[in-house]
Amino acid sequence: MAAQKGSEPSRLERRKARTRAALVNAAQTLLAEGRLNVPILEITQAADVGMGSFYNHFDSRDALFHAAIEEALDVHGAVLDLLCEDLDDPAQVFAQSFRLTGRLHRLKPTISKVLLSDGLNLVGSDKGLAPRARRDIQAGASAGRFRIQDPELALTIVAGATLCLGQLLHDRPERDDAEATDQVAEGLLRMLGLSHEEASEICRRQLPSLDVTQDATAVLAAIDTAGSVTIATPRS
């Protein structure tokens, strides 16, 4: 029997949640390694669960991989929302989100590679980075901070920069991820209409620590475990 609303989950529900989390975690690792055609048996072995348990949660390998990508996107987006919630300037929200994402490519390489593995589909996604970037670009335009004619094209450019930067940081480990990310962020702000001086100043501002609060620490920990996380919808 399902738990009543507001009640503690039952032992069975907790076990099911752990099993699903183990499968999603295994799938994220495989995605990061580029191993997209592994048999379901190998996935269940990596998750240390039975074959029957797989089909209690997912109809196919593709369904599992889709869930793994969606959960990675949502957790990553939740981290950005949490760390930008006290900012009022949409230009700073945009820049800070981009700068933090660039640093997370190195801090959380497994999830970064999961995101990159499905990069071409991210622009149209309703989860994770795309809706948040769209929201921030539109907020900047509405506030007069950004001067853009086509928000969708602006989002396409931002998405391309995000993905290419992430791949570059994986391919060139000798590069300073913070310096590279801030240079790209400054260029994007100038593309969106800010002056060189203001874009440069915003991208030199101190960033919040990624463990600035207990909540942030918990969310960041969830990135590598892919547990069940309740994610707030992007702020309007």
Please give the angle made by the CA atoms of 233, 180 and 176, to the nearest 5 degrees. 110
Residue with the larger pLDDT of the pair 207 and 107: 207
Helix (H, G, I), strand (E, B) or coil at 6: coil
Is residue 18 over pLDDT 50? yes
CATH 3.30.70.3150 fits 75-225, yes or no: no
Asked whether 167 and 112 are in contact (CB, 8 A), the reply is: no
Is residue 187 over pLDDT 50? yes
Q: Is the dihedral of CA 205, 211, 217, 220 positive or negative?
A: positive
Task: Report the distance separating Cα 102 and Cα 114, nearest Å.
Answer: 14
pTM over 0.75: no
Task: Report the distance separating Cα 25 and Cα 35, nearest Å.
Answer: 14
With tokens 């348990």, the residue in question is 53
Q: Tell me: the pLDDT tens digits for 35-51?
A: 878 999 999 999 999 88
* Least confidently predicted of 39-43, 182-186, 206-210: 206-210
Q: Tell me: the pLDDT tens digits for 53-71?
A: 999 999 999 889 888 877 8
Intra-chain end-to-end CA distance of the chain, in Å? 37
